[in-house]
């Protein structure tokens, strides 16, 4: 059975990705730092016939990530797909000259270093897969093409850096498929109720990369299953 770990999978896009992958027959690990919410999300997948397990995981904490990889190894002997979805926007992220070092550091800790940290911890388990895949959930706000518009600069910088992590990982792991995804503006707690896309639409390219895209597709930034500029 194919296995997948989705971080930040207790709500929003991550939860929908986990649900869809379970429906496709994956054994899905619901990664979340909130034990109650993560456990509930895993239970709901199970009630609908999917196979899922909650994995306590705080991507901003090295010891938590290390413990999670050990716990995973007790339940599965390999990992086929890692979806680095966990991300934050910190209150006060509204102007590049106003951002405190602390705010930017906190944002980078989760959105950029978190993805690298989890990939590093699970790389040996991914290497045991016949077709290992890493999907980093990024944002169009991280694109350098076209320039910034001033919105949430700390968040956008963290996603630009995440795209850099994607490119570096793709070079370092030639047998892996490693890509970044822009899910679009999605109706979640982060995206808000006015967003133009449903969580199902936001999850689509991520699930496609996890289950159906060619393994040769790597080191790219995608939206709606198509490559977009960095």
* Distance in angstroms (rounded) separating the CA atoms of residues 13 and 201: 9
* Residue among 72, 155, 176, 221 flagged as catalytic: 155
- Beta bridge partner(s), residue 23: none
Identify the residue whose tokens are 């299953």.
Answer: 225
- How would you class 35 by CB atoms within 10 Å of its CB: exposed for 0-12, middle for 13-18, buried for 19 or more? exposed
Tokens at residue 123, please? 């790389």
- Beta bridge partner(s), residue 32: 56
Which pairing describes strands 226-227 and 221-223: parallel, antiparallel, or unpaired?
A: antiparallel
Q: Are 218 and 178 in contact (CB under 8 A)?
A: yes
Q: Are 197 and 181 in contact (CB under 8 A)?
A: no
Question: Taking phi first (over 0 means left), then psi (-120 to 50 degrees means alpha), and beta for anything else, what does residue 184 get?
Answer: left
155 is catalytic: yes
Give Cβ neighbours of residue 160 (< 8 Å, ≥ 6 apart): 142, 143, 144
- Beta bridge partner(s), residue 227: 222
Integer Rg of the chain from CA:
16
The catalytic residue positions are 155
């Amino acid at each position: 059975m194919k296995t997948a770990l989705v971080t930040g999978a207790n709500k929003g896009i991550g939860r929908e990705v986990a649900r869809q992958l379970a429906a496709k027959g994956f054994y899905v690990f619901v990664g979340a730092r909130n034990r109650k919410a993560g456990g509930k999300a895993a239970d709901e997948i199970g009630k609908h016939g999917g196979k899922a397990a909650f994995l306590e995981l705080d991507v901003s904490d090295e010891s938590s990530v290390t413990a999670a990889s050990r716990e995973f190894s007790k339940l599965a002997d390999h990992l086929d797909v890692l979806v680095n979805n966990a991300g934050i926007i910190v209150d006060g992220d509204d102007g590049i000259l106003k951002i405190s070092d602390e705010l930017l550091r906190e944002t980078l800790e989760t959105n950029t270093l978190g993805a690298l940290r989890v990939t590093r911890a699970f790389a040996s388990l991914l290497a045991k897969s016949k077709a290992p895949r890493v999907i980093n959930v990024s944002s169009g706000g991280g694109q350098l093409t076209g320039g910034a518009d001033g919105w949430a600069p700390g968040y956008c910088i963290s996603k630009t850096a995440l795209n850099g992590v994607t490119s570096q990982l793709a070079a370092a792991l030639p047998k892996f498929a490693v890509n970044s995804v822009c899910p679009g503006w999605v109706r979640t707690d982060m995206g808000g109720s006015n967003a133009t896309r449903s969580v199902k639409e936001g999850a689509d390219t991520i699930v496609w990369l996890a289950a159906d895209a060619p393994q040769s597709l790597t080191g790219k930034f995608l939206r709606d299953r198509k490559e977009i500029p960095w």
